[in-house]
Amino acid sequence: MRLAGRLALITGASRGLGAATAVAYAKEGAHVVLVARTVGGLEAVDDQIKAVGGNATLVPLDVTDGPGLDRLGAALHERFGRLDILVGNAGVLGTLSPIGHFEPKVFEEVMAVNVTANWRLIRSMDPLLRRSDAGRAIFVTSGASRKILPYWGAYAASKAALDMLVGVYAAEVAHTAVKVNLFNPGPTRTGMRRQAFPGENEAQQIPPEAHAEALIQLALPSCTMNGAWVAGDEALKR
């Protein structure tokens, strides 16, 4: 088992890519800490993890609860003393709208979940990652961060901000044992994809489970990449 004895924390872990990653890591021997808002969703993923012989800790928490993330970091420090793998996967699309028509509440929520929550996550978990012999942090981004897409203003801006935030973090830990990278899954079969492209043929979308190997590789102690932007759909073609 390639992740035996490793401790991984995954946000947005109750469905989609987060759930698939949690099961994949557990199957490889990691103890996974699952963070999501819905208890029922977390319990369903926990059942999948138990079915493959894995172990999980369930944390019902909204990632926009900054003090809650701080408390989680403190609890992990007290119980485990470190964190080996961090996957910042939680994200929201918001609405697709002309920039001048966005409701402030919607715009602020997209930024809160996609940017600020990941900054708070880094702030809380960085000391724990540095206590690992090979801390690995992976943040889920999007091709929207690199394209000019009309009506995608809030989401695209949030992912572009995340890319820069994570890039700076990677530079700051460059001389440590921590490696930090971005992962773009591409057109993956998730609820967010259905929301963005309701008429798209789901048979042509990538199942979230197909990204397991790429996300395992980024989590391994042997991973040497730092500050990379990894395109998941391109990795599947190799």
Q: Which residues are catalytic?
A: 155
Residue 3's nearest CA partner among 134, 139, 124, 170 is 134
Pairing type for strands 179-184 and 55-60 reads: unpaired
Q: How many CB atoms lie within 10 A of CB 51?
A: 11
Contact 114, 142 (CB under 8 A): no
DSSP for the chain, please give it: -TTTT-EEEEESTTSHHHHHHHHHHHHTT-EEEEEES-HHHHHHHHHHHHHTT-EEEEEE--TT-HHHHHHHHHHHHHHTS--SEEEE----------GGG--HHHHHHHHIIIIIHHHHHHHHHHHHHHTSTT-EEEEE--GGGGS--TT-HHHHHHHHHHHHHHHHHHHHTTTSS-EEEEEE--SBSSHHHHHH-TTS-GGGSBPGGGGHHHHHHHHSTT----S-EEEHHHHHH-
- Phi and psi at 137, nearest 5°, equal -125, 130
